[in-house]
Chains A and B, each alone.
Chain A
Amino acid sequence: MKREIPMIITFVSGMAIIIALFVPHPPFGRVEETFNNWYIIISGFTMILGLNSLLGHNLDKVKRKAEGWPYSLTLILSFFITLIWGIVSTIRTGHIFASTSTFRNYYYTYVFVPLQSTMFALLAFFIASAAYRAFRARTVNATLLLVTASIIMLTQVPKGETVMAPVLGVAALLAVWKLMSEFESAASWTAGLPYLLLSIAIVAVYLPIVEVLRTQTTAVNDWIMNVLQMGAKRGIWLGIALGGIAMGLRIIFGIEKSYLT
């Protein structure tokens, strides 16, 4: 029974939502809205569960003097300082963010805002290190990704088109170098021929491509973003949508039971 009842609830509510999609007539029309309201109410109460878990977990660490317990202590103190300061400020000024509220003028401005911005700002550093590590010309596909990403990055900044020629020049040189080393180590002359031809092609198209990129920077950027990028994205979306429907149906019909334990 412990398994059957949740399965019945899932089936009934899942079917009700599907029916509501096609039948606007009462009592179906408002089913989704009603379910959403229930969810909001329930999830509001679960915040208490979350707090209990957070404070319990960290209090326990402090009590046991477990490794890193000062961090837990910091967390507990920060939690109560924020809570009490917020309440006191609200009582004294009528609004937590009133212009005379000390919560706003000290805590929000000098603690909350810098902390939040700092975390987000870390992204710049991580993008740099991840790009450096990941954008390697390991395969043909990776090389294409590398070149496209460089073009997009340079079209986004002022005067980017002026450095386009040297950047692509270095990229072309590297590509030719790699292809020639492939050609050199190829088993026979005929097996190496494609590498040689490709190198010649790269040298031949370098100047026209740089010229197009320099003069048509925005158009190239738009084309990459609107055609190449959107096409790939839509393909993935299609898969995600179908996978989502399949997963939903699996859950509703009780084929997938892993969420019931």
Chain B
Amino acid sequence: MKFFEKLAKIDRRIIFVILAITIISPFLFNLTFKLTPLEESKRAFNFINSLPEGSTVIISIDYDASSMPELQPMLEAVLRHIFSRNLRVILLGHWAAGVPLGQQALEKIASEYGKVYGEDFVVLGYRPGLQAVIINMGKNIHATFDNVDYEGTPLSKLPMMSNIKTYEDVACVFGFEAGNVGEMWIQFANARYGVKVLLGCTGVVAPDLFQYRQSGQLVAIVSGLRGAADYERLAKHEAFASYGMTAQTFAHVLIVAFIIIGNIGYIFTQSKKRRSS
């Protein structure tokens, strides 16, 4: 039974090729699933939807290129929703190498909606210190960023910033998380200053955050590619995350299939070995 032996020892390169084809094909053929959005994703969407026009959302980029496939589509979906509702954005971040990703997404979506820098959105960039930055923003956002935006333009010259001094003047913080910065937003911005916090995070990080959601310290968690796909669907603009979600589903099923095939091969070769011995 050479066949079963082969099943038990498939060359990993064959697995790689099949997996690659499975992951790429949904993107080539624009395949999507009809997802029913998770309750959590709906909460986030509805919260942003309920904000009055002209409100400001602080967006925090706390990830870098390695988590980009999960979080960048989520960020773009959220930004599209924000700008379509005529809300304003302040972008900052605690992962220095990731902030430019946020900037690029912001510039792209803002130009789609004809938004103007300084009036509809501002980029404050990165400041080292994490907790200290989050705490100080509760006292004075301008001073925390030395009164300038990321390119050194004085905040006093940006019309949007004249009314924004502390968390009191923003509607919420929406953090995009690949690590533990989200917990800092909850512990320092929400617990001390009462600002509403929403978090979009990678699938791996989500289990650590659900306790805060249960305790009511978090408005909502948009988790992983699934959350991003949900948000795209809710905002009626299906893009990368929806195709990515299809790819992820296929990949999961494929891995389970490989596990089963491996076991069929293993069990049959084992019983054959036993018989021959």
A→B interface (CB under 8 Å): 93-95, 97-99, 104, 108-109, 112-117, 119-121, 124-125, 127-129, 131-133, 135-138, 146, 149-150, 153-154, 156-160, 163, 167, 170-171, 174, 177-178, 181, 185, 225
Beyond A97-B150, A131-B259, 4 additional contacts (C-beta under 8 Å) are A117-B68, A128-B258, A132-B262, A158-B35
| Interface membership of B188, Cβ < 8 A | no
78-134 of chain B: CB within 8 A of chain A: 97, 99-101, 103-104, 107, 125
Interface centre among A97, A115, A117, A125 (most CB of B within 10 A): A97
> How far, in angstroms, from A128 to B259 measured CA to CA in the complex?
9
Count of A-B residue pairs with CB < 8 Å:
132
Contact A128–B255 (Cβ < 8 Å): yes
When distances are taken between beta carbons in the complex, the residues of chain A under 8 Å from B203 are: 156
When distances are taken between beta carbons in the complex, the residues of chain B under 8 Å from A114 are: 65
B→A interface (CB under 8 Å): 10, 12, 15-16, 19-20, 23, 33, 35-36, 64-69, 97, 99-101, 103-104, 107, 125, 150-152, 203, 207, 226, 245, 248-249, 251-256, 258-264, 266-267, 270-271, 274-275
Once A128-B15, A132-B15 are accepted as A-B contacts, the answer to whether A154 and B69 lie under 8 Å apart by CB is no
Classify the secondary structure of B's interface with A: helix
When distances are taken between beta carbons in the complex, the residues of chain B under 8 Å from A129 are: 12, 15-16
Contact B263–A136 (Cβ < 8 Å): yes
| Chain A minimum-CB-distance residue to B259 | A135
> A-B pairs with the 6 shortest C-beta distances?
A120-B66, A116-B65, A129-B12, A113-B65, A157-B249, A132-B258
Contact B65–A117 (Cβ < 8 Å): yes
> How far, in angstroms, from A135 to B152 measured CA to CA in the complex?
55
| Chain B minimum-CB-distance residue to A100 | B151
